Amino acid sequence: MLPGQPPLRAFTLGLLAGTIYFAGTIYWTGTVIITFGDVNPIVAMVGMLLLSAYLALYPATAGLVTSWLVARAGSAGLFIAPMAWVATEYLRGYFFTGFPWVPLGNSQVTVLPVAQLASVLGVYGLSALVVYINATLVFALLTTGRRRAAAVAAAFVVLVAVGGWGAWRIADGSLTRSGTPIRIGLIQGNIAQEDKWNPAHARRIFTTYIAMTRDAVRRGAQYVIWPESATPFSFEDPRDSPEGTGAVRDLSREVRVPMLIGSDQVIRREPVTESELYNAAFQLDPDGNTVAVYRKIKLVPFGEFFPFQRWIAFAAPLVQRFVPFSAGEGPVLLPVGPHRASTAICYEVVFPALARDAVARGSELLTTVTNDGWYGYSSAPYQHWEMAAMRAIEQGRYLARAANTGISGIVDPYGRVVVRSGIFEQAGLVGEARFLTGRTIYSLIGDAIAWVAIALTVLAAIIARGHRGSR
């Protein structure tokens, strides 16, 4: 941000840059509603661009605040940019149901030594680090002499310290030797989205999952996970397919392992015409009994529920295609022998607070079930996978992910991939994870850095108000 640049221009440039960034990141939302919502392609693309422009308001606001502070405090005001960025990025995960897709810090998830900072400050701490390093580079371009040298030296020390500590943490690897090991089977049926609820394909889908489960157990799986909405019927709904529910219970008794089954849940009320529909995951014990049911808390806007329906008449075909789901009330611990796991369904895994809440309640293993078949061969499945991997680092837990069309896999507490599938392939993965009970600093303090960022941004604005420093 150049000193003296008008804040309105900074906001406009931030809005433009943010819109381009998000359009290049979530372009697949347009494809989804074209393919599965029967929406006119032009209307779909306009909708995608409007969503991108809305998301761009957050980095644009960060640019506006930074520019305003630079105008009053000189180039030193650049160093409030990390806080302004984190404050707005954090709020993006809460306003209007929240959409914390691909926060800036997630760009470091494969840079493992740096990514370990997430175990202390979470993904928003990584976002602050990325912005701080870039703000220092800009500051160095705008200043000379000792100020430039001091700023660059400080950033270098911070980066070396973070990377060095992260490399040591990974090399130590104590979390991969702690706890109790378990071999997990992940069933990736690779069922085409258009076939999932087609009665003509129901038997094929069901027998595929049964055969793949038996094979995974033969290869040593001690806990089997099916993806989101894996069954071609609503599990435990006597009006849908009692035979299918019974067959799943029989399978669990046959293979003698606990199973996590992604399926819709229908709760019927009196009068009989009323019911509630949940996107759920059912935990079965080796005797085939349902010992826990998790209901999805964070529903996908315009996919599982429709906010602002009166203003989205253009998407009527999409609204009519989907039946709105009800939201669950909170995390549920899933008994796996003497241990406890937790799960997130699809989009929920991008919310750091949900995983933290589950660990705080006693989860020793993170799992997530999803159906990314909606996204086709776009970048969305890869983005989704990497955001899930960040939860493992933050919480110091193994994370196991079963996806209908991929990516399925297991990530260790340092973000390293234990086993992983490709997309749009049928795969039954078996890999080792561990039940862990320790807590990371981040799991204890949560997104404290976001609240600090909000407070410091407000404080800086108050102090800078009416002052104009040297540049």
196 is catalytic: no
Cβ of 273: how many Cβ atoms within 10 Å?
7
Is 228 a residue of the active site?
A: yes
In sequence order, what DSSP letters do the residues of 103-122 get, joined into one string?
-GGGGGTTSHHHHTTHHHHH
**How many whole angstroms separate alpha carbon 421 and alpha carbon 385?**
11
Contact 407/382 with Cβ under 8 angstroms? yes
Give whole-number Cα distances, 378 to 105, 215, 334, 408, in Å: 21, 30, 32, 16
Question: Out of 89, 228, 304, 364, which one is annotated catalytic?
Answer: 228
CA 318 – CA 7 distance, rounded (Å): 39
Tokens 């799986």 belong to 221
Q: Residue 271 phi/psi, 5° resolution? A: -70, 165
From the list 196, 298, 304, 346, the catalytic residue is: 346
Query: Of the listed 196, 236, 296, 298, which one is catalytic?
Result: 296
* DSSP strands (E only) in 171-221: 180-188
Q: How many CA atoms lie within 13 A of 409 on its CB side?
A: 22
Measure Cα distances from 303 to 231, 274, 306, 319, 402 in Å. Answer: 19, 21, 7, 8, 20
Amino acid at 343: T
Tell me whether residue 243 is one of the annotated catalytic residues. Answer: no
- Which residues are identified as catalytic? 228, 296, 346
